[in-house]
Structure 1
Amino acid sequence: MCVATSVALSTPVASARPDAFGWPLQPRPQVVTSFDRPEQNWLPGHRGVDLAAREGQSVLAVADGIVVFAGPVAGKPVVSVDHSSGLRSTYEPVVASVAAGSRVRRGTILGSVAGRHESCSATCLHWGIRRGREYLDPTALVRASPIRLKPLEAAPR
């Protein structure tokens, strides 16, 4: 006899409920630049992921939360959302359709993609997740946990 169990992913965001987060673009986008955590905060790295997108494509809240910022940062349009799990999601470049202080639900339209992120050769969305000052791999929030079958020990007869 076998039973299905799920195995937790060993990621820094494994404490977030796996069903609480979704992708910021629909349909599920291609990751064109992966997360690359720097060894030290001041070293170069890629503190998020770049997702293939179309100019004007709707950007969705990945989870319930409160918009804490919607506006330009160094001339680039950015939206940031705080989530009850202690995580903050950021989206760039996004022309906001929400304002700071707005409550959003997973799937709420935050705005639209406004061109390409500096690390992309084509239009893309840069999606970041952080807990405090630590940047985390956002794709770990939306990966499905693998299902493993493992045998049950036979009951004594």
Structure 2
Amino acid sequence: MSIDVSPRAASGFVVAVLLTLVVTAGAGPAGAARPFTWPLEPRPAVARGFDPPDHDWLPGHRGVDLATQPGRTVLAAGEGVVVFAGVVAGRPVVSVDHPGGLRTTYEPVEASVTAGRRVGRGEPIGTVVAGHEGCPTAACLHWGLRRGRDRYLDPLPLVQRPVIRLLPS
């Protein structure tokens, strides 16, 4: 029996498996705390999901938008070092580097931390500012995840167990 899988579907599956391994690596015994947490409490609704472009130069949505309220405290999703806290293209942004080559980015966020500061999982890093373009609620936190310089990933597998469904051919 032979199964034909498109290269895009195969690469998506490989990314999902690798992200699952990254997220669960070092998590310890069953029931131990996961290395990442939601950047907002209580757990927010996802207003817009991850929608990567087919090619690096095309438009897409390289993160997720989480529905919230202006002034809501933003938490570091995992332990790491703040590598940027400032303004990019007129929007306030905070970026945190995590072990394993991952970087999470949060915007629009009025930073309460500065570059170089070590932060723990769930530690406050700023507050949400209103005005995220395309947000259907009072405010949205755009939460991005990158591996290396230019490999954008869906951040939701950091905090949710991925659902893998095998489809009939």
Could you state the TM-score of these two structures normalised by the residue count of structure 1? 0.83
Q: Which residue of 2 aligns with 1:88?
A: 103
Paired residues in the alignment total 138
- Gap regions ≥5 residues in structure 1: 1-8, 147-157
The question of whether the paired residues in 2 share the 8 Å contact of 1:12 and 1:136 is answered with: no
Helix, strand or coil: the match of 1:17?
helix
Distance 1:116 1:63 in 2: 25
Distance 1:135 1:102 in 2: 24
The question of whether the paired residues in 2 share the 8 Å contact of 1:23 and 1:142 is answered with: yes
**Which structure features the higher share of strand residues?**
1
Q: Which residue of 1 aligns with 2:121?
A: 106
- Is residue 25 of structure 1 aligned with residue 31 of structure 2? no
The question of whether the paired residues in 2 share the 8 Å contact of 1:11 and 1:140 is answered with: no
Helix, strand or coil: the match of 1:15?
helix
Distance 2:16 2:153 in 1: 12
Q: String of CA shifts for 1:110-143, please: whole Å, max 9, x gaps.
A: 0000113113133110000000111000001111
The alignment yields a C-alpha RMSD, in angstroms, of 1.5
- Gap regions ≥5 residues in structure 2: 1-14, 25-33, 164-169
What amino acid maps onto 1:13 in structure 2? L
Q: String of CA shifts for 1:10-66, please: whole Å, max 9, x gaps.
A: 345223234111100001000000000111001111000000011000000000000
**Which structure features the higher share of helix residues?**
2
Greater Rg over alpha carbons, structure: 1
CA gap 1:89/1:50 in 2 versus in 1, 3 angstroms:
same
The question of whether the paired residues in 1 share the 8 Å contact of 2:23 and 2:157 is answered with: no
Distance 2:146 2:77 in 1: 13
Q: Which residue of 2 aligns with 1:141?
A: 158
Distance 1:15 1:131 in 2: 14
Q: RCO greater where, 1 or 2, for CA within 8 Å and sep 6 or more?
A: 1
